[in-house]
Amino acid sequence: MSKIIVRGGQRLTGNVRVSGAKNAVLPILAATLLAQEGESIISDVPSLDDVNTIQQVLAALGASLTYENETMRISAQQLTTYEAPYELVRKMRASFLVLGPLLARLGRARISLPGGCAIGTRAIDQHLKGFEAMGAEIVLGQGFIDARSDGKLKGAKIYLDVASVGATENIMMAAVLAQGTTTIENAAKEPEIVDLANYLNAMGAKVRGAGTGVIRIEGVERLSGVAHTVIPDRVEAGTYMIAAAITGGDVHVEGAIADHLAPVISKLQEMGVEIEESDNGIHVRAASPLKSVDVKTLPYPGFPTDMQSQMMALLMVSEGTSIVTETVFENRYMHVEEFRKMSGQIKVEGRTAIISGGLPLAGAKVCATDLRAGAALVCAALHAEGETEITGIHHVDRGYVDITGKLAGLGADIRRFEAAEESAKADAMQTFTSSVEAAVSAVTQADAVIAVSASDKSDKTDNAAEKTDFKREKDVARIKAQPTWA
């Protein structure tokens, strides 16, 4: 089993460079499928497991690509299939983002229900509602979503019940080649949405209002491949800011954009961390003992849920009691149990966590339960007395480029140990077996719902029984969307 070992207590100093944003590059790479002509040249593409996965998805769909020196070149003129392979899609939630582009480009997309971090149910009903409003027919079954449109998609007015990042992106990508104008109301406002809109507009699309709650997309006839540089990763930047603060360090986070990090900066300042915007990044200094604060996660521009666990690590070492409220995902406290192993004093009541801070942390053997939980454990370990061994680091590889190298460059005592080949194989077998068991269980539950749906309609025609009731299928989507593999 691969692991990271950290000996806490080293003060971090120096400069760390932020990579391109995972959550921006994944939709942008999906959007390259929309280019009927020309080559897309995407720069600052971080070398992450998730990027590797979407690269394989694009290749499986017929795109040809190269990836060298953080630049990916993609030609998608000749797509060969509308079906994204199950074994890739199950690895990562963002692979579901090829649905919108495929539907727009080919009028058909077949894709399995997505995987990703097990931090909540992560429904996809808002994506499907958007595609249906644009005239697509959606059929769910056997763990797959089959979406078709009879001719071009049609512009529509779509109100999102939740300001979902993924649904906003997927609908935006479907709408750029649709007939007429699409309006997304209660759209997500994240910087990654704006980056995607900028890329689409450079391709020839007409997207207005990205970054606000209402996005208008006027469909165009054709889109072409163009060059685009991905924005810096605000979550990676925020993680290094917290790593600096938790060690009482003095660190320049190169490439970090202060505007994208406003809520994180504001909370760190409230705690007593000195933050200064520089020409090309953010400087973080933490000298005096830090104070407790309360944090509530919210869609952008609120405090990002992807920074909640790292912030909790910092609150554990800050004086006083802090309250964290997670409002975006219903199961994003799995790191708490691991923090407790490091002597963290945290009580969870529903969506609220109460942290008694200022007590010493001790090194322990812990496991990353998801991507940001892994990063948070690394942050806590940098402060803790003694050695912390962190397993489950394949989660961290989804979202951080060389976290050990970057932190070691700042003076951390941190090393990564790769699994011996044999034990890696054993891990893979174990993961595969659990995935199969989980998949069988999810499909069985979902099929039970489908069976109920079919028997309810037994007095109607065979044809009608085969057609799916959207409400029930939404339930199936919710069941199957429960990520059992991450």
Ligand X SMILES: CC(=O)N[C@H]1[C@@H](OP(=O)(O)OP(=O)(O)OC[C@H]2O[C@@H](n3ccc(=O)[nH]c3=O)[C@H](O)[C@@H]2O)O[C@H](CO)[C@@H](O)[C@@H]1O
Ligand Y SMILES: C=C(OP(=O)(O)O)C(=O)O
* Residue positions annotated with a catalytic role: 117
Asked if 121 is part of the footprint of ligand X (rule: CB under 6 A), the reply reads yes
The b-or-e profile of 94-122 (16+ CB within 10 A means b, else e) is bbbbbbbbbbbbebebbbbbbbbbbbbeb
Nearest to ligand X of 26, 138 (CB atom): 26
372 binds, among ligand X, ligand Y, none (CB under 5 to 8 A by kind): ligand Y
CB 238 within 8 A of CB 304: yes
Return the amino acid letter for 464: A
Q: Tell whether residue 123 is a contact of ligand X (CB under 6 A).
A: yes
Q: Where are the alpha helices (DSSP H) in 342-469?
A: 371-383, 394-397, 403-409, 421-456, 462-466
Q: Give CA–CA dist 64/33, Å, rounded.
A: 11
Q: Report the partner that residue 85 touches, choosing among ligand X, ligand Y, none (CB closer than 5 to 8 A by kind).
A: none
Nearest distance, CB of residue 398 and ligand Y, angstroms: 7
Q: How far is the CB of 116 from ligand Y (least distance, A)?
A: 4
Are 399 and 22 in contact, with CB atoms under 8 Å apart? yes
Quick one: which segment of 113-121, 191-199, 262-270, 438-446 binds ligand Y (CB under 6 A)?
113-121
374 binds, among ligand Y, ligand X, none (CB under 5 to 8 A by kind): none
| Residues 175-214 interacting with ligand X (rule: CB under 6 A) | 188, 192
Candidate residues 245, 328, 379, 412; the one interacting with ligand X per rule CB under 6 A: 328
Alpha-carbon separation of residue 329 from 89, 91, 326 (angstroms) = 21, 19, 7
Q: Does 230 bind ligand Y (CB under 6 A)?
A: no
Which residues fall within 8 angstroms of residue 425, CB to CB, at 6 or more apart? none
H/E stretch holding 130 reads helix 125-133
Q: Are strands 157-159 and 352-357 parallel, antiparallel or unpaired?
A: unpaired
Please tell me whether residue 329 binds ligand X under the rule CB under 6 A.
Answer: yes
CB 23 within 8 A of CB 165: yes
Restricting to residues 77-106, name those near ligand X by CB under 6 A: 93-94
Closest CB to ligand X belongs to which residue?
Answer: 166
Asked if residue 79 lies in contact with residue 105, where contact means CB atoms within 8 angstroms, the answer is yes
Query: What residues from 321 to 380 belong to the interface with ligand Y (CB under 6 A)?
Result: 371-372
Closer to ligand Y at the Cβ: 253 or 449? 253
Residue appearing with tokens 């089959």: 146
Burial of residue 438 (CB within 10 Å: 0-12, 13-18, 19+) is: middle
**Residue 381 CB burial class (10 angstroms; 0-12, 13-18, ≥19):** buried
Which range touches ligand X (CB under 6 A), out of 120-128, 270-278, 414-422, 462-470?
120-128
Binding status of residue 225 toward ligand Y by CB under 6 A: no
125/415 Cα distance (integer angstroms): 42
Site string for ligand X, 159-178 (x = CB under 6 A): ---x-xxxx-----------
Out of ligand X, ligand Y, none, what residue 123 binds, judged by CB under 5 to 8 A for its kind, is: ligand X
Q: Is 27 among the residues that bind ligand Y (CB under 6 A)? A: no
Query: How does DSSP assign 164-195, residue by residue?
Result: -HHHHHHHHHHHTTSBSEEEEES----HHHHH
* Total of residues contacting ligand Y (CB under 6 A): 10
Closest CA to 164 of 214, 208, 124: 124
Per-residue contact track with ligand X, 394 to 433, x per CB under 6 A? ----------------------------------------
Candidates 112-120, 132-140, 308-316, 343-351; binding stretch for ligand Y (CB under 6 A): 112-120
Site string for ligand Y, 51-90 (x = CB under 6 A): ----------------------------------------
Q: Is residue 94 a contact residue for ligand Y (CB under 6 A)? A: yes
Total residues belonging to the chain: 486
**Site residues (vs ligand Y, CB under 6 A):** 23, 93-94, 116-117, 119, 306, 371-372, 399
**Site residues (vs ligand X, CB under 6 A):** 23, 26, 93-94, 120-127, 162, 164-167, 188, 192, 305-306, 328-329
